[in-house]
Amino acid sequence: MHVIGLEHQDVASAARVKCAVIFHARLSTGDDHFVFIIVFVPRCIAASRDGVVAHRESWRTILASHHHSHRHALGAGQVNANRIHFFDAALQHVWQIIDYVLAVAKLRIKGFPLGAWQTNCWLIWVEGEEHRPGWIIDAGDNPAQLIDAARANNVVVQAILFTHAHLDHIMGLGQLIAAFGAVPRYAHAVEHAWFGDPQLNLSAFAEVGPVSVAAPTHAIADGDELTLGPTRWRVMHTPGHSPGSVSFVCDGATVVIAGDTLFAGSVGRSDFPTSDPAVLDDSLRRKLLSLPDDFAVHPGHGPSTTIGRERLSNPFLQ
C-alpha cells in the first residue's frame, strides 16, 4: 500500500506521481493486474475546522513555577487539510482493498479543547450506518459539547480511551459515564491507579479540587491492536511525559493521536515527578518519528500538525 500526501497546489502535478506509483506496482508485484483507487479524504486537520484552538495560558497551572507554554504553535493555514490515497494490489484482492478504502474515507475525527487547560479530547467515529460506532479519546473537564456532538452525529460510544492519566485528561470521565453508561475504558496498566489518586494524577498540586474518577476497565500495552468498525488502530507506548503515555496510530488513515508527547512546535513537559526527559526523547525519536512524514498528528493541546513538519521545524527535535 502506498500513501502519498499532497498539498492543494500539488494536485495539478499529480500525474507524475501516479505514473510513478503504477510503475512501482508493476515492478514490485510482477502482476499485470492491479487496482488504482483515488480517494479524497478531508481530514480537517486545520485548527479552525477541527474546533481545536491554540493552547492558551491559564491561571490554573500545575506546578506553576515550572510552567511554560507550548511554543511555536502553527496557524491553521500551514497544515495540510487533505490527503490523496493511492492503493495498488493484485486484482483478486480488489474488493478487500475497496472495502478498506471506503472504511478509511468514512472515518471522522473531531477535536474538542476542554477545560482550563484546553485539553484536546477526540470524538472518533465511522460514518455509513444509522448508529455510528465511535470512541472518545481523553476526558477533559466539562465535556458537554463533546457529548452533544456524539448525540448529534448518532455516535454509539463503544469505548473511552486515554492517552495518559493526568488530571486534565481524566476529570470529565464522570460526566461521560453518566451520558453513555459504563462503557469499556482503556489505559496503560501502569497508570490505572492514577485515576483515583490525586497525588499521581497531579490534581493535588493544582488549583482545583482533588480528582478521583472511575478506574479503567481494560489495560493496553505497546503493540496492541484495537478496531473501530472496519478501521484498525495500534497502541504505541510513548512514555516520558508520564510512564503510561500512549499514542493511538491508524496506519490506514495516516493519523496518530499523540496525547501530550508531541505538539506542534513543542514536546510534552518532562518536569513532573513521574516524568523522564530521556525516556521522552526516546519515545519521540525512536517511535513517533519512525512514522512517515505525511502522518497527521493530533496532540493533547494546541493545533494539529504532521510528523514531517515536526521533523523539520520542531526545535526540540533538532
Alpha-carbon torsion angle 146, 42, 185, 181, nearest 10: 40
Integer Cα distance of 315 and 266 in angstroms: 7
Cα–Cα dist 263/265, whole Å: 6
Burial class (CB in 10 A: 0-12, 13-18, 19+), 21: middle
Among 8-12, 37-41, 114-118, 155-159, the range scoring the smallest mean pLDDT is 8-12
Residue 105 confidence class, pLDDT cut points 50, 70, 90: confident
| Poorest-pLDDT segment among 9-18, 36-45, 173-182, 201-210 | 9-18
Q: What is the DSSP letter of 72?
A: S
Cell of 151: 448525540
Q: For residue 70, what is the DSSP state?
A: P
- Across the chain, what does the average pLDDT equal? 77
Task: Quote the percentage of the chain above a pLDDT of 70.
Answer: 68
Report, as an integer, the average pLDDT of 122-139. 92
